[in-house]
DNA sequence: ACATAAGCGAGACGGTACGTCTCGTCTTCTG
DNA sequence: CAGAAGACGAGACGTACCGTCTCGCTTATGT
């Protein structure tokens, strides 16, 4: 499940070359890391990947979709959506990988991409659809389930609790505040009873 | 301090037409509001401003500089730093104006400016020094004072409480989440006891 | 052999569209005839031809090359280089078409182009390389062969005899002297024994 | 009669600075010599002359007029019309000065002037009336006189013989062919018996 | 003597065109 | 049929000049 549109195993004909998939994503991330989003061009990615332009356009409708998928596959891949019945543990499991990645070398890449995401409505939409959306939904689901269980009061603010970790983490990243190892724990200490 | 390069009034030659300065910035902001950053083109701005392209390039080296200045000029900031001894009231007084503007037409502009701030280290530094910095400091000061007064427990997480409102507000703005009228109250309900 | 650079059919890739070749040359000549060389702009030609600018620049490096080829293909095409062993007949066969064209409506166009050729070193070079050069060479070759055969004395002035027709014809055209039907015959009567 | 519009010493105001006239023409000719007609720009000439653009536009409406005047001022003509009864000697005496100047530094200038002459009907008429016209007439007169004397056969082609030297010389100049020292002699050898 | 009027260097102004680049689509050929 | 190669129409990029228009100054003349 690497390619956004899922695999379309059309019948007949030569199958898509998985080596191309990889080469394209690899090249896209490399170029982005070197030159920023504005410096990415489909032609450049194609050349670097040793691939024809059509081979990219056969997979992605445009640059935004390509980059959204590249970032997802390259640095965002933990698609684990835990649901153990322990809200705090589930939130930790979901968000700690993001904190870790933000503290690593990938942090800068991720932040740079996020910023581009804000500038380009198309890119934002693609990325939210492909990567962020169902995580956000799951966060809300976890909080609501906790209320149902009685672990949170009935009038708890579902949205704010669910968004707490992303909001604080990105706020730190964007404003260059240090992201401590225990940042996530402190956030949850603050917003969970 | 409107135009990026400062005023270089060199002597000799016809002076720059201030009406052009205004028309360019006005047009840049208009186009931006309609089409987003990616939708801004120098040619479009020039046409809309009724100005030659050279008249823009005489002032700005490229789109990035133009938009940085446009958005900077389109953003004003008020500077009220209340300190009444009531933490919740002070935080409300400080942050509600930001919420209000975010909900107004200016919201897009403010958000755009923030994004540019993230991209441009120089802009970031200048802006933090001139506008953000002492607000952030004051927020921390208010929280610490509340602890001192015993209004907050001694082990309260100063940084997270102080940053709560900005973090949530910008998070909502950047991710396009609706900013409700009572957003600030809900945030304070969550992070203050 | 319409396009200057010869056909470079490299393998792979979509081949150049011959319809574009034609549309471009047609449009270039039309615009030139209407507005003169100075009035020709690549953008105008592209628009008139219903073609992207890049499609022209893919074929010609600049306006000079385009116009050189356009004139060659449009009004200069008789690439017949006769060599029958009869000097006078060969010279007649080579040059009479030019005289005829000079006497026709195309004459003005041709003259206008020649003048531009003189003003623009780049255009001159392009045109000589693509159109004039091998004709000039062939003229010299014919005269030398005639000397070899003994049809001309051994000390005949190869260059002047070879250039006689072009020199007189262009002289008449440029100075607005009437170009008589039998001009070429009179020239050859004068310079051939 | 140096400046196109003649001198209009209207009353009042500061008079035109003759030093500017000179500097402009000087610079125009210099730039022309270095970069050719197409390489001349008013801005370049102004800069080289140390003069504002308006100071040029006050004198000439556009580049064509500037260059026409520049080249006109750079060209002088001598007016010796010999008639000794020796056709060959007279033709030599009339045309050798032109050959000599064509071989000198002035050659480019003369050629440039001729080209401008072809483009500008007004300039052409003026120049033919003032300079070329009676020379052309005199050439014909000399040839006809030679026929009368029996030095040329009765059916000699007056026009072609009379135009031979100008035609060949200008042909060489315009096409960049080398103009040899003995070019004129060779021409006369060819067209005179 | 001093207002009037124009010339002057400098350079901004609204434009046009340049030649380059990338976009996303479309053909053709090769494996 | 997938893939590489690359042509295609479209249109923005940043640059260079065009010819016009202020600026603040200088330089003669005509009262």
Q: Do A160 and B36 touch (CB under 8 A)?
A: no
Q: How far is C174 from chain D (nearest CA, A)?
A: 6
One domain, residues C123 and C96: yes
One domain, residues B110 and B136: yes
Average pLDDT for chain C? 89
> Looking at residue D9, what is its pLDDT?
53
Q: Do C166 and D166 touch (CB under 8 A)?
A: no
Q: Closest partner residue to B190 among A115, A124, A191, by Cβ?
A: A191
One domain, residues D66 and D161: no
The C-alpha atoms of residue D185 and residue B157 are separated, in whole angstroms, by 105
Q: How far is C90 from chain D (nearest CA, A)?
A: 20
> Looking at residue C27, what is its pLDDT?
96
One domain, residues A65 and A127: no
> Looking at residue B24, what is its pLDDT?
96
Q: Do A160 and B190 touch (CB under 8 A)?
A: yes
Q: Is C31 helix (H, G, I), strand (E, B) or coil?
A: helix
Q: Residue A150 CB closer than 7 angstroms to strand F?
A: no
One domain, residues C131 and C69: no
- Taking CB atoms and an 8 Å cutoff, what residues of chain B touch A121? 36, 38
pLDDT band at C2 (very low <50, low <70, confident <90, very high): very low
Q: Do A171 and B176 touch (CB under 8 A)?
A: no
Mean pLDDT of C173-189: 95
Q: Do C171 and D166 touch (CB under 8 A)?
A: yes
Q: Closest partner residue to B38 among A120, A159, A164, by Cβ?
A: A120
Assigned domain for C4 exists:
no
Q: Are D151 and C158 in contact (CB under 8 A)?
A: no
From the CA of B109 to the C1' of F14: give the distance in Å: 26
Assigned domain for D139 exists:
yes
Assigned domain for D154 exists:
yes
Number of domains observed in the structure of chain D: 2
Task: State the CB neighbour count (10 A cutoff) for residue A5.
Answer: 11
Strand F-contacting residues in C 25-84, CB cut-off 7 angstroms: 50-55, 58-59
Pick the residue from chain C with its C-alpha nearest to D119: C115
From the CA of C22 to the C1' of F15: give the distance in Å: 31
One domain, residues A92 and A153: yes
- Taking CB atoms and an 8 Å cutoff, what residues of chain C touch D174? 118, 170
Assigned domain for C11 exists:
no
Q: Are A175 and B169 in contact (CB under 8 A)?
A: no
Kindly state the tokens that stand for C92: 């007649």
The C-alpha atoms of residue B73 and residue C157 are separated, in whole angstroms, by 78
Chain B positions with Cβ closer than 8 Å to A: 36-38, 111, 115, 118-119, 124, 157, 160-161, 163-164, 166-168, 170-171, 174-177, 186-187, 189-191
Q: Mean pLDDT, consecutive 10-residue segments, chain D of 193 residues?
A: 47 86 94 87 96 96 87 74 94 92 86 79 70 84 96 96 96 94 97 91
Mean pLDDT of C131-149: 93
DSSP string for chain D = --STT-----SSSPPP-HHHHHHHHHHHHHHHHHHTGGG--HHHHHHHHT--HHHHHTT-SSHHHHHHHHHHHT----------S-HHHHHHHHHHHHHHHHHSTHHHHHHHHHHHHHH-HHHHHHHIIIIIHHHHHHHHHHHHHHHHHTSS-TT--HHHHHHHHHHHHHHHHHTT----TTHHHHHHHHH--
Q: Residue D65 CB closer than 7 angstroms to strand F?
A: no
From the CA of B151 to the C1' of F18: give the distance in Å: 72
Contacts for A1 with CB less than 8 Å, ≥ 6 apart: A7
Residue C5 or C192, more confident: C192
Chains B and C are touching, with contact defined as 3 or more CB–CB pairs separated by less than 8 Å: no
Q: Closest partner residue to A168 among B38, B160, B174, by Cβ?
A: B160
Query: What CATH number is attached to the domain comprising A34?
Result: 1.10.10.60
Q: Residue D38 CB closer than 7 angstroms to strand F?
A: no
Pick the residue from chain B with its C-alpha nearest to A178: B159
Q: Which nucleotide is nearest to D46 (CA to C1')?
A: E9
One domain, residues C126 and C32: no
Kindly state the tokens that stand for C9: 């059919």
One domain, residues C46 and C98: no
Chain A positions with Cβ closer than 8 Å to B: 111, 115, 118-122, 124, 128, 157, 159-161, 163-164, 166-168, 170-171, 174, 176-177, 186-187, 189-191
How large is the greatest C-alpha to C-alpha distance in chain C, in angstroms? 57
Assigned domain for C13 exists:
no
From the CA of D10 to the C1' of F29: give the distance in Å: 11
Question: Which residue in C164, C165, C191, C192 has the most chain D C-beta atoms within 10 A of its own C-beta, making it the best mutation to test that interface?
Answer: C164
The C-alpha atoms of residue B176 and residue B125 are separated, in whole angstroms, by 25
Pick the residue from chain D with its C-alpha nearest to C118: D174
pLDDT band at C47 (very low <50, low <70, confident <90, very high): very high
> Looking at residue D144, what is its pLDDT?
97
Q: Are A124 and A117 in contact (CB under 8 A)?
A: yes
> Looking at residue C75, what is its pLDDT?
77
One domain, residues D34 and D115: no
Chains that touch D (3 or more CB pairs under 8 A): C
From the CA of D14 to the C1' of E2: give the distance in Å: 16
From the CA of A13 to the C1' of F1: give the distance in Å: 5
Q: Do A167 and B166 touch (CB under 8 A)?
A: no
> Looking at residue C8, what is its pLDDT?
54
Q: Are D192 and D162 in contact (CB under 8 A)?
A: no
- Taking CB atoms and an 8 Å cutoff, what residues of chain B touch A122? 38
Assigned domain for B151 exists:
yes
Domain span including residue B116: 87-191
> Looking at residue C12, what is its pLDDT?
77
Which residues of chain B, if any, have pLDDT below 50? 1-6
The C-alpha atoms of residue B186 and residue B171 are separated, in whole angstroms, by 15
Q: Are D152 and D87 in contact (CB under 8 A)?
A: yes
Sign of CA dihedral C10, C15, C19, C21: negative
Strand F-contacting residues in A 47-86, CB cut-off 7 angstroms: 50-55, 58
Q: What is the pTM of this model?
A: 0.81
Query: What CATH number is attached to the domain comprising B169?
Result: 1.10.357.10
The C-alpha atoms of residue B54 and residue B48 are separated, in whole angstroms, by 14
Q: Do D170 and C174 touch (CB under 8 A)?
A: yes
> Looking at residue D95, what is its pLDDT?
93
Q: Which nucleotide is nearest to B46 (CA to C1')?
A: E14
Q: Closest partner residue to D38 among C115, C120, C161, by Cβ?
A: C120
Assigned domain for A5 exists:
no
One domain, residues B130 and B181: yes
| Residue where a domain stops, chosen among A29, A52, A74 | A74
Which tens digit of pLDDT belongs to each residue from C51-71? 999 999 999 999 988 998 898
One domain, residues B177 and B127: yes
Which tens digit of pLDDT belongs to each residue from D120-169? 776 677 667 666 778 889 999 999 999 999 999 999 999 999 999 999 99
The C-alpha atoms of residue D173 and residue D111 are separated, in whole angstroms, by 7
Closest CA to C38 of C123, C125, C164: C123
Positions in chain F where some atom is under 7 Å from a protein CB: 1-23, 26-30
One domain, residues C51 and C92: no
The C-alpha atoms of residue A122 and residue B39 are separated, in whole angstroms, by 11
Chains D and A are touching, with contact defined as 3 or more CB–CB pairs separated by less than 8 Å: no
Q: How far is C122 from chain D (nearest CA, A)?
A: 9
Pick the residue from chain B with its C-alpha nearest to A169: B167
pLDDT per residue, tens digit, chain A (193 aa), is: 344 444 444 456 778 888 999 999 999 999 988 888 888 999 999 999 999 999 999 999 888 888 888 888 877 767 789 999 999 999 999 999 999 999 998 888 888 888 888 888 888 888 888 778 889 999 999 999 999 999 999 999 999 999 999 999 999 999 889 999 999 999 999 999 8
Q: Closest partner residue to B160 among A159, A160, A190, by Cβ?
A: A190
Count of A-B CB contacts under 8 Å: 62
pLDDT band at C167 (very low <50, low <70, confident <90, very high): very high
Q: Are C165 and D160 in contact (CB under 8 A)?
A: no
Q: Do C119 and D161 touch (CB under 8 A)?
A: no
> Looking at residue D11, what is its pLDDT?
64
Q: Residue D8 CB closer than 7 angstroms to strand F?
A: no
Assigned domain for A81 exists:
no
> Looking at residue B154, what is its pLDDT?
95
> Looking at residue C4, what is its pLDDT?
44
Q: Residue B10 CB closer than 7 angstroms to strand F?
A: no
Positions in chain E where some atom is under 7 Å from a protein CB: 4-31
Chain C positions with Cβ closer than 8 Å to D: 111, 115, 118-122, 124, 157, 160-161, 163-164, 166-168, 170-171, 174, 176-177, 186-187, 189-191
């Amino acid at each position: 499940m690497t390619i956004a549109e899922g695999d379309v195993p059309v019948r007949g004909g030569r199958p898509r070359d998985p080596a191309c998939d990889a080469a394209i994503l690899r090249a896209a991330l490399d170029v982005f890391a070197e030159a920023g989003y504005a410096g990415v061009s489909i032609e450049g990615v194609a050349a670097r990947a040793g691939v024809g332009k059509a081979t990219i356009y056969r997979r992605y409708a445009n640059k935004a979709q390509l980059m959204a998928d590249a970032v997802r596959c390259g640095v965002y891949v933990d698609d684990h959506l835990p649901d153990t019945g322990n809200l705090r543990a589930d939130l930790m499991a979901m968000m700690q990988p993001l904190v870790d990645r933000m503290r690593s070398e990938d942090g800068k890449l991720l932040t740079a991409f996020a910023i581009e995401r804000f500038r380009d409505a198309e890119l934002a939409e693609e990325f939210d659809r492909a990567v962020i959306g169902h995580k956000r939904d799951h966060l809300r689901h976890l909080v609501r389930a906790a209320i149902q269980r009685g672990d949170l009061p009935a009038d708890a603010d579902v949205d704010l609790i669910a968004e707490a970790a992303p909001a604080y983490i990105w706020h730190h990243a964007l404003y260059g505040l240090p992201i401590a190892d225990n940042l996530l724990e402190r956030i949850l200490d603050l917003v969970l009873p």
